[in-house]
Amino acid sequence: MKNLWSDREARSFVRRYAKERVNRDRALRVYTSRLLGGEPALVLHGGGNTSVKTTMKDVMGQNIEVLCVKGSGWDMAAIEPEGLPAVRLGPLREMVKLKRLSDEDMVNAQRVNLLDSTAPNPSVETLLHAFLPHKFIDHTHANAVLSLTDQKDGEALCRRLFGKKMGYVPYIIPGLDLSRKTLQVYEADPSVQGLILLKHGIFTFGDTAKQAYSRMIGMVTLAELRLKKGRKKVFTAAKLPQKTTAVADIAPVLRGLTRYGGKRLIFDFRGGAKVLNFVNGKDIRRYACQGTATPDHVIRTKQKPLITPAPETGGLNAFRKGTARALDRYVKDYQAYFKRNNRRQKIKRTELDPMPRVIMVPGLGLFGLGADAKAARITADLAETNIEVITAAECLGAYKVISEADTFDIEYWSLEQAKLGKGSEKPLARHVSVVTGGCSGIGAATARALAAEGSEVAVLDQDEKAALAVAAEFGGLGLACDVTDSRAVRRAFDQVVKKYGGVDIVVSNAGAAWPGTIGEVPDKVLRDSFELNFFAHQSVAQNAVRVMVAQGTGGCLLFNTSKQAVNPSKDFGPYGLPKAATMALMRQYALDYGHLGIKSNAVNADRIRSGLLTDDMVKARARARGLSQSDYMSGNLLGREVTAEDVAKVFVDLARSTKTTAAIVTVDGGNIAAALR
């Protein structure tokens, strides 16, 4: 592992934060925390922690000895000084005299000793940092170290490698007991440069930030070199089908099966040689189902993955049935695991949902599952990290982690659960939306509105650069797609499914206006308009229901049909006719798929500034009627201009409605000729 310390960079951090009245110690602590946090082989997604002992002034202006330690919820890769809350060191050190300390009392004691009451909760390992005397302390869950400790003889392996440079601490859940045991191990030999916490991670310390960091890199490098020594091929491949079903066909099936309590999950797929080598192994149920590489992961990944049958091309129904049986066993096993371990708890826990958070599919790869795209991505990252650790561990011997009881204590530990955050979800959370014509006024406004309601959103548009720009506003997916090309539409939906696992809401919005007197218009103009304003809607809807039917969880189709479908304008037939056909299409989908819980509705809008009605067109139409632009745009019963955001709101309302289908909603400020009911 490369040592990234730079004296020049370190000095720049000190200068930068001095302007913000942050002292040298904290500035250097930020610098090396970022170095550690930026290396995925050391820490991932908020894992690990760091600290520095320094002095700061309290409200009375007195210099107080404090421990600045990573705060809960902060990621070391992007940490700022406020992510290292300062806690009075004296009271923390006094706690070593306590015989017992509950988790809640520990958190409270740490909070009441914060210099800033608004600071985040200090790390759950704060007491460990406080009890050790060193100025700078670093803690990571280095993959290479875990591969050594996660063995039956892990301690012996580590002692042979690190010798007396390190101390060795048995696995204990973080808290007072671990902190005191760590101090005991250190005091037995104060010459050690750090500590190996068996089946948990590694600590290093030093008088300076550079020394503590360099020791971490040095020890991890030793572990990496040991793992490369005599490395052998470990996983014997199972016999698998010659041809495997595509991810885009498998994901919706899995997503539908894993819905629990009416709640969907978002998926994140991972493939690649390392993942396939792991999931294709004949003994996958032995090495993949023991537990996580470090206990912290269990709150996101659960103890075990779901392992499905291998999906053979043409055998999707068999895959669905086989996976349903495997999932049923998984749920029953999880419920039994909960009951077994909850019996011994003084304070009874409430069972979490029993759905897996990692699904391994032989021949294909793995899926990380979460309440949103970020959570799914984190789960998938952790699953890949576990694969790295387990693969290396199996090269040395046999992977072995903490006991089931210890795993349960972490999974249901209130201090770990707090890391996941709490709070109510937005109305469209856990939903995946697709918006075509997503860069037009209405399309972009609708994409933003759906994202604001909690949905994951894919923006499809002919202009890839514009689609990416709109999607970037809310962390969505931007894709280039010509909706008149049925193959391109299929590819786009497959990409959405591969990204998120499925599709729940589709806003078929793409369109363009062709004018012309119907008895004189060339066939090509009419056919081109039908391609975009009717057949493209059919292609989009077909692909949407393909995914929705596979999921078996219902869905929502929304069409932009325009007022032209009901109230055609003179010399505008090439646009109005296909829009009228699309309105009929919407009703047909409502008829044919309503029994599957798939809703189909349309929005009729009029006089909206967008790609169809540009500012130049507004000026021309207003001038032709002898009106100002404002009077023309507000020429409706309410006398109010309707915006793209108004249309977007109606699309969202229809998406949220659970009992409305085959409906046509007007958004035009009032036009009796276009009113339906």
CA separation for the pair 615, 609 (Å, rounded) = 7
Give the model's pLDDT for residue 424. 83
Backbone angles phi, psi at 548, to 5 degrees: -65, -40
Half-sphere exposure of 48 (CA within 13 A, CB side): 31
Average pLDDT of 401-423?
Answer: 80
pLDDT of residue 125: 95
Better pLDDT: 607 or 601? 601
Closest residue by Cα to residue 671 from 535, 562, 510, 545: 562
Q: What is the mean pLDDT of residues 493-513?
A: 96
Residue 244 DSSP class: B
Task: Point out which residues pair with 237 in neighbouring strands.
Answer: 281
DSSP, res 42: T
Interval 639-658: pLDDT, tens: 988 999 999 999 999 999 99
Distance from the Cα of residue 487 to its chain's centroid: 29
Lowest mean pLDDT among 63-77, 405-419, 547-561, 589-603: 405-419
How many other C-beta atoms are found inside a 10 Å radius of the C-beta of residue 222? 19
Q: How many residues does the structure list for the chain?
A: 677
Using the predicted structure, report yes or no on whether residue 419 has a pLDDT greater than 80: no
Q: What pLDDT is attached to residue 628?
A: 84
Q: DSSP readout, 131-185?
A: HS--SEEEEE--HHHHHHHSBTTHHHHHHHHHGGGEEEE----TTHHHHHHHHHH
Q: Is the pLDDT of residue 116 over 70?
A: yes
- Interatomic CA distance for residues 167 and 176, integer angstroms: 18
What sign does the dihedral 430-432-435-438 (CA atoms) show? positive
Q: Assign 310 a pLDDT band (cuts: 50, 70, 90).
A: very high
Residue 421 in this model has a pLDDT that exceeds 60: no
| 309 vs 361: CA distance, rounded Å | 7
Per residue in 330-344, is it b (16+ CB within 10 Å) or e — as a string? bbeebeebbeebeee
Which 8-state DSSP code applies to residue 221?
H
In this prediction, residues 141-164 reach a mean pLDDT of 96
Strand order in the sheet with 365-370: 266-270, 365-370, 358-361, 306-307
Residue 157 has pLDDT above 70, yes or no: yes
Residue 24 backbone phi and psi in degrees, to 5: -60, -40
- pLDDT over 90 at 360, yes or no: yes
Range from 265-269, 344-348, 400-404 carrying the lowest mean pLDDT? 344-348
- Calculate what percentage of the chain has a pLDDT beyond 90: 85
Residue 566: pLDDT band with limits 50, 70, 90: very high
Predicted confidence (pLDDT) at residue 608 exceeds the cutoff of 90: no
| pLDDT value of position 615 | 75
Closest CA to 412 of 339, 362, 486: 339
| Torsion from C-alpha of 509, 512, 517, 519, nearest 10 degrees | -70
Distance separating alpha carbons of residues 162 and 154, to the nearest angstrom: 12
pLDDT at 348 over 90: no
Residue 390 confidence class, pLDDT cut points 50, 70, 90: very high
Mean predicted confidence (pLDDT) in 206-215: 98
Structure-token pair, residue 384: 């890949």
| SS3 track for 75-137 | CHHHCCHHHCCEEEHHHHHHHHHCCCCCHHHHHHHHHHCECCCCCCCECCCHHHHHHCCCCEE
CA angle 372, 374, 380 (to 5 degrees): 105
Q: Which of 245, 219, 467 is nearest to 362 (CA)?
A: 245
* pLDDT given at position 677: 64
As a whole number of angstroms, the distance between CA 55 and CA 68 comes to: 9
Q: Which residue, chain included where needed, has tokens 């988790």?
A: 103
pLDDT tier, 621 (very low <50, low <70, confident <90, very high otherwise): confident
- Pairwise CA distance, residues 14 & 55, whole Å: 16
Please state, in angstroms and rounded to a whole number, the distance separating the CA atoms of residues 50 and 419.
17
Reply yes or no on whether the pLDDT at 423 is more than 70: no
pLDDT at 416: 64
d(CA 151, CA 319): 34
| Residue range 347-373: mean pLDDT, rounded | 95
| Mean of the per-residue pLDDT values of the chain | 94
What is the per-residue pLDDT for 612?
66
The DSSP code for 531 is I
How do residues 430-477 score in pLDDT, each as one tens digit? 999 999 999 989 999 999 999 999 999 999 999 999 999 999 999 999
**Given this model, what pLDDT does residue 547 score?**
98
Contacts of 572 (CB under 8 A, 6+ apart): 513, 515, 516, 564
Query: Model confidence over 551-564: pLDDT tens digits?
Result: 999 999 999 998 88
Which tokens go with 496? 């959405």
Residue pair 27/68 in contact (Cβ under 8 Å)? The answer is: no
Q: Which of 206-215, 271-280, 421-430, 574-583 has the lowest mean pLDDT?
A: 421-430
> Residue 307: its pLDDT value, please?
98
Residue 627 has pLDDT above 90, yes or no: no
SS3 assignment, position 283: coil
Is a pLDDT exceeding 60 seen at residue 611? no
Residue 616, pLDDT score:
77
Percent of the chain exceeding pLDDT 70 equals 97
Nearest to 564 by CA among 547, 551, 537, 583: 583
Amino acid, res. 56: M
Beta bridge partners of 508: 559
Q: Which position has the token pair 């050594």? A: 148
Residue whose C-alpha is closest to residue 194's, from 209, 178, 182: 182
Averaged pLDDT, 143-163: 96
pLDDT at residue number 422: 60
Tokens encoding 135 = 């100025």
Provide the pLDDT for residue 521. 95
Q: Rounded to an integer, what distance in angstroms lies between the CA atom of residue 360 and that of residue 208?
A: 44
For the whole model, what pTM was predicted? 0.92
Q: How far apart are CA 544 and CA 131, in angstroms?
A: 58
Stretch 58-80: mean pLDDT: 94
